[in-house]
Amino acid sequence: MQLMATMRNAWRIKDIRHKLLFTLAMLLVYRLGSVVPVPGIDSEVVRDILGGGEGQGGAGLLGLFDLFAGGALSQFSIFAMGIFPYINASIIMQLLQAVIPKFEEWAKEGPEGRKKLMQFTRYGTVVLALIQSIGMSLAFRTAIDVPRAESAAYFMTLGVIILSLTAGTAFLMWLGEQITDKGIGNGISLIIFAGIVSRLPAMAIQAVNLVRVGEMNIFSLLLIVVLAVMVIAAMVYVTQGERRVPVQYAKRVVGRKMYGGASSHIPLKVNQSGVIPVIFATSLLMLPETIGQFWDSSIIKSIASFFTMGTWSGTILVSVLIVGFAYFYTAITVNPNDLADNMRKNGGFIPGIRPGRPTAGYIQRIMNRITLAGALFLAAIVALPYMLQGVVGIEIGIGGTSLLIVVGVALETMKQIESQMLMRHYKGFM
């Protein structure tokens, strides 16, 4: 009820209403583009190659991408690659800031520096999209309508497919930036959110049909719904969870006035890395399974089955990878030495801890503990659908990765609406 009241209050504010309408219009453009087919491709052959959704044995990594793209890959539309090249380029740029001093300098320059980094990210997106479109076109070469014997027409069609996929990703990047600038929320995240949510009605209809034909009983369906609600509540709790490190600022006298003496805190998030470790880990683990789909070799298929999500070996491996990537990404995004240095420069200190290196070590120990808790939670969320699948005997169409993205984006968007409403003294939801 409070959520509905918040949305009604937001709708009454003219500029927020315009931003919401603009965001919905851009997402509608995205969904319309997801059904525009790439010329020269037989989508039926593509669907036969994919064969399933997230985490389902026949789909592998391509099925995960298809889920995030809202079914655009299975239809081989102009948005078949989704926004993944942009995400990869952004992550690469973020990692390069730790090893290239010039990028690190730009990151600290404020808006002008971020503008330069964003420009490099755009160039990297186009390059990665071109490389990925070439690989995808070759992977689905059996779906090209033109026979390979007609070499001139075949390569011309291949070139059109590559350019169409690259242009589609570039357009999605522009669309996401427009949503961020003129709409509500992070445009890139909302595009992924819209792609995942667009599959929910079809999954709900499929579940009802399974109950109707007797392949799944009503109690199994209710169990899935109850567990989904509990998992979403736990996701919200952990995503919002933070460890507040108290900070005290020393008093100082300037002239006849006294400054400082205030108390504050450093909010260290339990899940600092967000959904990035899950995407990295699942993508890496699904790679052998995806390769096994295109190679008719018993050795490769046996290796792929060892890495398959849902098996004991696959579950253990993905959990280890998630924990490793969580620590790795947290170490890049949070620098305890910088936090301790900035605190010392502003006259702040943690009660009972000496400034400088001891403060950095104290923050690092806290980050290690809360990162482990967050990483184990992510691993449990990813493994839960496969465990539930073994109990009810029905494949779960949407996995933990998708739920994490949906919940995270929804919370972030609500926070942005909340912040804009607070400036106008409206009571919000959060």
Predicted pLDDT at 56 = 40
**For the segment 41-83, what is each residue's pLDDT rounded down to a tens digit?**
877 888 777 764 443 434 456 666 777 777 788 888 899 888 8
Tell me the CATH number of domain 7-199, given options 1.10.3370.10, 3.30.420.40, 2.30.30.830, 3.40.350.10: 1.10.3370.10
Predicted pLDDT at 260 = 57
Q: How far apart, in Å, are the Cα atoms of 85 and each of 125, 139, 403? A: 5, 17, 21
**For the segment 219-243, what is each residue's pLDDT rounded down to a tens digit?**
877 877 888 888 888 888 888 888 8
Q: Which residue in 403, 27, 421 sits closest to 187, CA to CA?
A: 27
CATH topology agreement for domains 7-199 and 214-397: yes
Predicted pLDDT at 371 = 92
Predicted pLDDT at 278 = 83
Q: Which residue ranges in the chain fall short of pLDDT 50? A: 52-59, 428-429
What would the CATH number be for the domain defined by 214-397? 1.10.3370.10
Residues 66, 71, 77, 79, CA torsion sign: negative
48-51's contacts with Cβ under 8 Å and 24+ in sequence apart are 49/140, 49/142, 49/143, 49/293, 50/74
**What residue segments make up the domains of the chain, in order of their start?**
7-199, 214-397
Predicted pLDDT at 204 = 79
Query: CB-side exposure of 335: number of CA atoms within 13 Å?
Result: 9
| Secondary structure of residue 142 in the 3-state scheme | helix
H helical segments located in 254-356 = 276-294, 298-307, 312-333, 336-345
Identify the burial level of 36 via C-beta atoms within 10 angstroms of its C-beta, where 0-12 means exposed, 13-18 middle and 19 or more buried. Answer: middle
Predicted pLDDT at 179 = 92
**pTM, 2 dp:** 0.79
Predicted pLDDT at 252 = 63
CA distance 121 to 113: 12
Predicted pLDDT at 398 = 63
What string of DSSP letters covers 6-22?
Answer: HHHHHHHSHHHHHHHHH
